Amino acid sequence: MNHIVTVQDAVTAFADFMEPTNAELDAIEREMPVILADIELLDAQIITLDRTPTELDARRIRRARRRALAARRALANRADSGEAA
């Protein structure tokens, strides 16, 4: 007979005491403009999934792509210059 064993230890191994560190939270905060710009780009692309993109849709995607690239460039420039935030 095979016994069924719970995996409670594996599930609770990352419980409440495993909060992100201050350094991890700071890194997320620094990357937030990139994350938001990527979300905006995805939203613009998702809108066009079930229809033929119009000229307005194409402009919206181009604008969102430029914002995402600008946010990534700004993050990379801050990292290269050694700025914290």
> Residues 6 or more apart from 75 whose CB is under 8 A from it?
30, 31, 33, 34
pLDDT number for residue 4? 65
Residue 20 has pLDDT above 80, yes or no: yes
The one-letter amino acid at 55: E
| 3 vs 60 pLDDT, higher one | 60
Task: Place 19 in a pLDDT band, splitting at 50, 70 and 90.
Answer: confident
Residue 11 has pLDDT above 60, yes or no: no
Contact 79, 26 (CB under 8 A): no
Instruction: Tell me the per-residue pLDDT of 29-48, one tens digit each, with 9 for 90 and over.
Output: 999 999 999 999 999 999 99
**Residue entry with tokens 């210059």:** 81
